[in-house]
Amino acid sequence: MKPTLRTAMLALLATSHGVNDFLAGWLLGGAMPAASAWDRLPWLVIYAALAFAGQLPAAWLMDRSRRQDRWLAGSLVLMIAAVGARALSPGLAVVLSGVASAFCHVAGGALALQLPRGERALGWFSAPGILGLTLGGWLGHTRGDLALWAALLPAGLFAGWALLRPHWPRTATAESRVAAPGVDVHDGLMLLILLALTLRSALWDLLQVAQLNDPQVILALAASAAFGKVLGGWMIARWPTVRHVSLTLLVSCLLLDLARGHLVGLCAGVALLQSTIPASIVLLHRSFGTSAARASAYGLGLTVALGGLVIPAQVDYLAILMAVAGAALVLLWCAPRREPLRLAG
């Protein structure tokens, strides 16, 4: 694949992610069917269930198709529909946006991972999401209803997808894969890492909520999170082991614990936490025989969905996160490597 073609595809994928989260943030931050924050909560739950937990069934559907780019195109069409539905029913717009988000995250992540230098491509793809969500939420809060001109954004991206249509990666069929080995120690370790990522998501949400009254801090944290995802793609390309992911979690926990009240340290801790997202997706795909679509769904959807479930609990997230990451690091250091999944000849 030519470098210019790869750059064009990656730019479209990353922009699609940013636009998707931008529209979702504007819809959720703007005027909703109910006025109070408490009445708004069910719509946030509905969106989260569709956008994050919905990524797993979206991945299962995509695994049956060799043209995963079509699902990305479908998500862009749903974004346009969500903007149009806003004038008729805010609730319907949220539902359409949630479904679009599920397919955009899974299809975009899977396609990015299959591009040349997929590790770094995945980091660039995932980076614009938090920036788009932050900007969209601010506009929704300050400007109100989603403007109809916003439909031009996904419409332009759809045109770009159509131009690049012959060049998108084709996914190998399930029959061309050799079955992964049975359950071993790395499967259990994967659960530990998923738990650590889940608590990471909860901690990130709490940081946002705690700083809502200071837009400059929110913007700094969002920029740090975006940088962290790009950094994670670069790190996993250089050090493709689960040990380094666990070590990164430990360092980020220490930074977050020691940086209370210090914005620079807080941003550094958030960046390192977010850097584990593309790294974990790559490891799921490479080391555990998981398809690109399902690996993307686990890293970008399942962990956030589970993280949202534990937010109401009154627990010390940082202490639990450090304990889980520490246990994963010790076990991974001693555990034998698992044979990677090989394609059938």
Tens of pLDDT along the chain (345 residues)? Answer: 788 899 999 999 999 999 999 999 888 877 555 444 445 667 777 887 888 878 888 888 888 877 888 999 999 999 999 999 888 888 888 899 999 999 999 999 989 988 888 888 888 998 888 888 888 888 877 777 777 888 899 999 999 999 998 888 876 544 334 334 443 455 545 555 655 555 555 455 555 555 555 667 778 878 888 898 888 888 887 877 777 777 777 787 777 767 666 778 878 888 888 888 888 788 777 766 667 787 777 777 766 666 555 544 444 555 555 555 555 555 555 544 444 444 444
Asked: is 3-167 a CATH 1.20.1250.20 domain? The reply is yes
CA 239/CA 21 separation, integer angstroms? 30
Write down the pTM of the prediction.
0.76
How far is CA 139 from each of CA 26, 38, 154, 216, 329, rounded to the nearest angstrom?
6, 20, 18, 14, 41
Residues 6+ apart with CB under 8 A from 14: 124, 125, 127, 128
List the beta bridge partners of residue 177. 343
